[in-house]
Amino acid sequence: MKIAIIGAGLAGLACAGPLKNAGHNIQLFDKARGPGGRMSTRRAQTPAGEAQFDHGAQYFTVRDPAFQQLVDSWARDGVAARWPAAGEDAWVGTPAMNSPIKAMAAGQDIAWATRIDQLEKSSNCWKLLGEKANIDTLFDSVILAIPAEQTADLLSPVDTGFAAVAQESQSDPCWTVMLSFSEKLPTDQNILRNIGAIGWAARNSDKPGRTGLENWVVQASPAWSRDHLEETQEWILPTLIEALSQALGLNLPEPLHATAHRWRYARSDSADRTALFNRENGLGVCGDWLLGPRVENAWLSGTALSQHILDQ
């Protein structure tokens, strides 16, 4: 089968691997310029060199034995390591959070910077349409591995049943601030949780495999992010820097680099499903939001969908 997968985050890649290994022709499309999805890594130039931030998922945990096997193989390949500061069972990608995603993406055919805006059924096949996407290929099957809200938008005109499942799922937003300093901040606290506006803040440079500047990632709590969703970056940035300063009890030096990023759909809800597949029209759906907002769930969902398609 010719199968299109929209979204090359962990769920899309977890689904792509087994389908490709079984001999199917898989093409992935992702609106981002490179691998990571919500496990992405942001790089920035500062006067003191390049800074690097994990600006989505901060770490992940492992419960499922099959996922544990995969994570162990990532550790052997040097693309993941434990980060005990976040908890006994906490893992991160190394040297950056997107490293395991990069490794999984390496063997796949992925069209980056290609946003899909519409699905069109043409006889028994699917055509993908996007403002900048010139896609001639017709696909037997299309898999959506994107957040629930975006899934609902794409599916509403073509599969009202699956669209309804996605519509019921609502993600929490997350305002994130990334800061680089020329010197190590004088504190032993590497992680802060739930202090005022801050849901999480961490010294990114404390994670294994990171070198270079003193980098911090500050994530506002879901409630605070929702209340200030439409504020400007110019307001968010100093407000969260001040919140970090208060939480650490420090007068922060002028950062070398400071940016704010708004994740509109950061942590998903849970639809209490694993994955969806409509045998009649060939549409499949996977992603963390079917099971809940965890890296492991994205992998479980994508893997379950591939298994389901192969079983059929």
Binding region for ligand FAD (CB under 6 A) = 6-12, 29-32, 37-39, 56-60, 115-116, 145-147, 150, 174, 176, 219, 263, 266-267, 287-288, 293-295, 298
Nearer CB in complex with ligand FAD: 2/48 = 2
Taking residue 90's Cβ as centre, other Cβ atoms within 10 Å add up to 17
How far apart are CB 213 and ligand FAD at their closest, in Å? Answer: 21
How far apart are CB 200 and ligand FAD at their closest, in Å? Answer: 7
Nearer CB in complex with ligand FAD: 255/287 = 287
How far apart are CB 114 and ligand FAD at their closest, in Å? Answer: 6
Of 213, 221, 212, 220, the closest CA to residue 257 belongs to 213
Nearer CB in complex with ligand FAD: 56/282 = 56
Name, in order, each residue with C-beta under 8 angstroms of 279's C-beta and a sequence gap of 6 or more.
312
Nearer CB in complex with ligand FAD: 2/186 = 2
User: CA 95, CA 83: separation in Å to the nearest integer?
Assistant: 12
How far apart are CB 51 and ligand FAD at their closest, in Å? Answer: 18
List, in sequence order, every beta strand (DSSP E) within the chain: 2-6, 25-29, 41-46, 49-54, 80-82, 91-93, 110-111, 118-122, 125-129, 141-144, 172-181, 191-195, 198-203, 214-220, 257-267, 276-278, 283-285
Nearer CB in complex with ligand FAD: 44/48 = 44
How far apart are CB 144 and ligand FAD at their closest, in Å? Answer: 8
